[in-house]
């Protein structure tokens, strides 16, 4: 078990758990030495007990990441148990940060004018209530605000018969207790309303091996596009050990998942070559052998769940890469013109269109969520990409 915990995949979660525990402990210490300094012994013990319970709950949430733990519980309990503990960890850090900020404001004194007392009380209340309001909005409102995002990507030298080509993308579905079949059906209906020339599914259909992959594939089989539905694998297909099954069952349902493979499609007199690769792990060589999938004379498009491959794809000669994976950061805020989100720790390519010389990449925010059932500043989307000749 210890060896599994120390495996690369779980180290960021372990670091996050330690950081949150330290922040919570520091926050409780500040409360005990501040507002609760003169509280009764019983009240101070209650605060320390609450801290111990919080640490225990977060530790349990971390352990629910492991198959040998979550397999002993119903799927809904494992998913929501982990999700709610992550949500609590996130909220508690925001709350203690807000508490520290509120302490920086001047104390309310009886000598202050009524207007000043009202202002200071309102300011402290707003600072403390802000995190709760933001997390509540992301969990109960923005997470469900699925919309169609339309993007025009100018491409130098694009063949005339590909000018205006419409490509609809669904990615990072994560069908699980956090995303219902009804929500996925809504996304599929939205994709079909675009009447796209080509449809793409770029990985992470589910989150864990216990999620309903067959249900997800059956709903996705309703996607319609002139040239068909193609896709690639995400990292959660690896975690669920479902890559081979997803490809085989997808093929039986009329969807073509490309695994180090390409498909040559004809639009008028122009050839579009779709190349798909399995999930490219961070800190490993990217796209080894992918240059062999390029078809000279065709417009080559790379499907890669991980957008961090973009510089390598551009060097290999792919003028367009289409990706997902980042969820657009899933929870992102802008402070002093800086876009803050966890995805930026892993890649520069988080959301939208990026360019390098004559090559472009589009990164979709996707549909579902992982970890915590919240989206903030990164609403879910179905993406409609239009290729534009320049």
Q: For residue 178, how far is the Cα from the chain centroid? A: 13
- Indicate which CATH number applies to the domain containing 217: 3.60.21.10
194 with 223, same domain: the answer is yes
CA distance 368 to 146: 10
Same domain (yes/no): 124, 173: no
pLDDT of residue 9: 64
Q: What is the DSSP letter of 232?
A: -
Q: How many domains does the chain have?
A: 2
Task: Mark whether 121 and 165 lie in a shared domain.
Answer: no
Q: Please tell me whether residues 230 and 103 are part of one structural domain.
A: no
- Domain identity same for 92 and 52: yes
Residues 67 and 158 in one domain: no
Boundary-marking domain end, from 81, 113, 140? 140
Per-residue pLDDT of the chain (390 residues; tens, 9 = 90+): 445 544 556 777 888 889 999 999 999 998 998 888 888 999 999 999 999 999 999 998 888 878 778 777 887 888 888 888 888 998 898 888 888 888 888 877 777 788 888 888 888 888 888 888 999 999 999 999 999 999 999 999 999 999 999 999 999 999 999 999 999 999 999 999 999 999 999 999 999 998 999 999 999 999 999 999 999 999 999 999 999 999 999 999 999 999 999 999 999 999 999 999 999 998 899 999 999 999 999 999 999 999 999 999 999 999 999 999 999 999 998 776 677 788 888 899 999 999 999 999 999 999 999 988 999 999 999 999 999 999
Per the listing, tokens 């929501």 go with 80
C-alpha triplet 333, 339, 344: angle, nearest 5°: 110
Which of residues 140, 164, 189 is at a domain's end? 140
Considering the domain architecture, whether residues 92 and 186 belong to the same structural domain is answered as: no
- What confidence score (pLDDT) does residue 181 get? 96
Q: Which helix (H) or strand (E) holds 43?
A: helix 41-63
How many other CB atoms are found less than 10 A from the CB of residue 329?
A: 20
Residue 72 pLDDT: 79
Cα-only R_g, the chain:
24
CA–CA distance, 90 with 375 (Å, rounded to integer): 13
> How far apart are the C-alpha atoms of 39 and 22, rounded to whole Å?
23
Buried b (16+ CB within 10 A) or exposed e, 13-42: beebbeebbebbeebbeebbeeeeeeeeee
* Measured CA distances, 379 to 115, 194, 235, 238, 375 (Å): 39, 19, 21, 26, 6
* C-beta of residue 197 within 8 angstroms of C-beta of residue 165: yes
Q: How far apart are CA 101 and CA 111, in angstroms?
A: 23
Do residues 333 and 340 make contact, with C-beta atoms less than 8 angstroms apart?
Answer: yes
Q: Are 134 and 167 in contact (CB under 8 A)?
A: no
Indicate if 81 and 222 belong to the same structural domain.
no
Residues 135/370, Cβ–Cβ less than 8 Å: no
Q: Which of 140, 158, 179 is the last residue of a domain?
A: 140
Print the domain residue range for 72.
Answer: 2-140
Question: Which pLDDT does position 323 carry in this prediction?
Answer: 98
Instruction: Tell whether 97 and 238 lie within a shared domain.
Output: no
pLDDT, residue 7, reads: 52
Is 126 in the same domain as 234?
Answer: no
Q: Are residues 182 and 245 in the same domain?
A: yes
Do residues 361 and 238 both lie within one domain? Answer: yes
């Amino acid at each position: 078990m210890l060896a599994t915990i120390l495996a690369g995949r779980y180290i960021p979660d372990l670091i996050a758990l330690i950081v949150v525990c330290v922040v919570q402990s520091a926050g409780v210490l500040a409360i005990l030495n501040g507002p609760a300094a003169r509280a009764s012994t019983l009240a101070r013990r209650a605060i320390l007990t609450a801290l111990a319970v919080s640490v225990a709950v977060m530790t349990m949430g971390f352990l629910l990441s492991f198959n040998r733990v979550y397999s002993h519980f119903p799927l809904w309990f494992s998913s929501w148990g982990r999700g709610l503990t992550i949500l609590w960890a996130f909220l508690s850090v925001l709350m203690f940060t807000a508490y520290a900020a509120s302490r920086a404001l001047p104390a309310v004194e009886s000598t202050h004018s009524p207007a000043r007392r009202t202002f200071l009380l309102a300011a402290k209340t707003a600072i403390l209530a802000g995190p709760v309001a933001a997390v509540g909005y992301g969990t109960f409102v923005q997470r469900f605000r699925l919309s169609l995002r339309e993007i025009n990507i100018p491409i130098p030298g694009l063949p005339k018969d590909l000018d205006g080509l419409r490509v609809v993308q669904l990615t990072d579905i994560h069908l699980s207790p956090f995303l219902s079949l009804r929500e996925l059906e809504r996304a599929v209906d939205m994709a079909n309303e675009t009447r796209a020339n080509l449809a793409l599914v770029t990985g992470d259909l589910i989150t864990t091996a216990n999620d309903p992959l067959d249900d997800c594939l059956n709903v996705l089989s309703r996607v319609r596009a002139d040239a068909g539905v193609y896709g690639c694998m995400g990292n959660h297909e690896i975690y669920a050990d479902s890559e081979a099954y997803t490809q085989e069952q997808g093929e039986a349902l009329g969807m073509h998942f490309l695994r180090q493979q390409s498909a040559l499609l004809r639009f008028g007199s122009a050839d579009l070559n779709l190349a798909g690769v399995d999930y490219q792990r961070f800190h490993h060589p990217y796209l080894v052998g992918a240059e062999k999938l390029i078809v000279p004379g065709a417009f080559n498009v790379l499907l890669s769940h991980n957008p961090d491959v973009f510089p390598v794809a551009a060097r290999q000669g792919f003028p367009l890469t289409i990706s997902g994976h980042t969820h657009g950061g899933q929870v992102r805020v802008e402070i002093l013109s800086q876009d803050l989100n966890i995805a930026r720790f892993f890649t520069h390519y988080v959301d939208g269109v990026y360019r390098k010389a004559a090559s472009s990449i589009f990164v979709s925010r996707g549909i579902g969520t992982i970890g915590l059932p919240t989206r903030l500043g990164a609403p879910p989307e179905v993406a409609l990409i239009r290729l534009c000749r320049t």
